[in-house]
Chains A and B, each alone.
Chain A
Amino acid sequence: MTQQTQGMIRVVFFASVREALGTTGVEQDAAGITTVTDLIGLLRDRSETWHETLGAENLLVAVNQTMVDPSQKIVAGDEVAFFPPVTGG
């Protein structure tokens, strides 16, 4: 696991979300971010593809490895994961 820079939120992506965005994850400055919704807003601004992918209706979110809904508050040092509905078993 890479060391997280101070004041940053570690964002990770899985499965088709990772493929669409072309990255396993990014670090996002926590400044100005209170909730997951705020984070999604900032990430979606990056490009049309990010806008579409992170705007998907069935997108799931976890904060520090616990499922949450987008109203969840987040702080620097948190790990936020975005992924599609699961298909294990």
Chain B
Amino acid sequence: MQQKISIQVPAFDVGEECAWLAAESQEVGGIVTFLGVVRDVNEGDRVGSLYLEHYPGMTEKQIAGIIEEAATRWELIAATVIHRIGQLAPGEQIVFVGVATRHRGDAFDACEYIIDFLKTRATFWKKERTPDGERWLETRETDLKTVDDWKQR
């Protein structure tokens, strides 16, 4: 399995990333992707901008571990995770997860698994900046329930 992990400041090109996943092997039958973007509103308040912090070194290790877990559950040909850091405005890309497989079922499940576990495990922290002040976001209960549900799936 080929994998590509990048923690970066600049925006990425979804088309280019899909092309990379498709080119990895002639066995690729399906590619499923997830794109996370900065929401304009959070808990009723307008979001000014988002600041993304991470733990250099640990974050990449964790993402690699999550991809490895997905690869033991489903047959993956290639996987890509790109996560941006730094200052982001509403509407901007935050994260990309792409998975290439022979059959689409594996791709849908693996892509969902990777983003679900990235959200509750990977060492990133989001800080919202609004005209009224700044606040660090808190882990959502729904995200914790989602990874818990994977034990049943």
Contact = CB atoms under 8 A, between A and B. Distances in A.
B131 to A, nearest CB: 20
Contacts of B57: 65
A63 B58 CA distance: 10
Nearest to B85: A88
Contact of A85 (B52, B61, B83, B139): B139
B139 A89 contact: no
Contacts of B58: 62, 65-66, 81
Contacts, number: 66
Interface in A52-89: 62, 65-66, 81, 83-89
Interface residues of B, number: 27
B119 A15 contact: no
22 contacts: A15-B53, A15-B125, A15-B136, A16-B125, A16-B136, A81-B58, A83-B125, A86-B120, A86-B121, A86-B122, A86-B139, A87-B119, A87-B125, A87-B136, A88-B52, A88-B95, A88-B119, A89-B36, A89-B83, A89-B95, A89-B119, A89-B124
B13 interface: no
Interface of B: 36, 52-55, 57-59, 61, 83, 94-95, 115, 118-127, 136-139
Contact of B136 (A12, A62, A81, A84): A84
Contacts of B61: 65-66
Chain B interface main SS type: mixed
Contact of B124 (A12, A16, A66, A88): A88
- What range describes how many residues of A lie at the interface? 10 to 19
A84 B138 CA distance: 9
